[in-house]
Structure 1
């Protein structure tokens, strides 16, 4: 049984990756939004000196809203194509959830790998604690992927899907967003780095994963 779940996760992930590579609309929306936001921020600041906490907030605003530009499509595209019912019939709920969550995390990590170096270059930021920054970005992406996958399933079929998705995502992800800004500011040299923030982010990510796993069964098999 455990083997079949892992096989299901792998199949769902491969399906999502294949569809993403074939139809690159979500990828293009995320990366173009990120690039546009970074260009606007860079031109607005015009090389001025900015304190680390504001730089950290700008980085996470870019990451969060770029993720919102594509992460909400994880179920919406199948709903539009009419294949969601087939997936619901033949796909085990946990395999579908974790496969799509893994794909979303993969996409967000690629996005972070694209945004973060460009941001550091354009803002002329020196990273004092690169491992802290790396851990913060990974934990932040994990939280966004877990919350985003569940809320994307919840808002599938809504007439104002994108707007509703963003409204529901922000309060859910704030417990990840706020410590991420503090940790990133510390990594940029403001000091005050504490392991409690990293532990808190990891714990909240775990809560999101467990909560999504429990709630998704009710969403997936509801009449």
Structure 2
């Protein structure tokens, strides 16, 4: 049973990755938003260093809204193409959920790995606490991936997907978003960075993952 579950997750991930390589719409949307925002920030600063608290908030705003351009497409493309019923017929709920969540997480992690160093370079911010900084980026990316995949499933079939996705996404991800900004500011030298905040982010990410796993069964088989 476990081997079949992992095989199903792998197949869904490979399917998503193959489609992503073929069409690249979500990849380019996320990348262009992040690069455009970074270019605007760089030109506005004109070489002046950015204060740590402001830099932390700006970094997470860029990552959050850039991820919105890709995370909401987890189920939208299949819904528009009319292939979602076929996926429901052949794919078990947990396989589809974790396969898509793994792909979304991989996509957002690649975006973060590309954007974060570039952001630090352009804003002149210096990382003081490397472990806290990396841990915050990792947990923040995981939280956005979990919330984004679940809400993409919830809004699948809605006439105004992007607007509804944004409205539902922000309050769900806020408990990750706010401590992530606080911890990032501390990691950049803007104050303290308590490990308890990092633990709180990890616990909330766990709640999001468990909640997504439980709710997705009802969403997947509701028809």
TM-score range, shorter chain: over 0.9
- Distance in 2, matches of 1:163 and 1:27, equals 20
Q: What is the TM-score normalised by the length of structure 1?
A: 0.98
- Alignment coverage as a number of residue pairs: 223
Question: What's the counterpart of residue 6 of structure 2?
Answer: 6
Equivalent residues in 2 for 1:63-212, closer than 5 Å: 63-212=63-212
SS in structure 2 of the partner of residue 40 of structure 1: helix
Structure 1, unmatched stretches of 5+, are: none
Q: CA deviation at 1:49?
A: 3.9
Q: RMSD of the TM alignment (CA)?
A: 0.8
Q: CA deviation at 1:125?
A: 1.0
- Distance in 2, matches of 1:30 and 1:18, equals 18
Q: CA deviation at 1:39?
A: 0.8
Q: CA deviation at 1:95?
A: 0.6
- Distance in 1, matches of 2:114 and 2:168, equals 26
Question: What's the counterpart of residue 220 of structure 1?
Answer: 220
Question: What's the counterpart of residue 62 of structure 1?
Answer: 62
CA-to-partner distance for each residue in 1:117-152, whole Å, 9 max, x for gaps?
110000011111111111100000000000000000
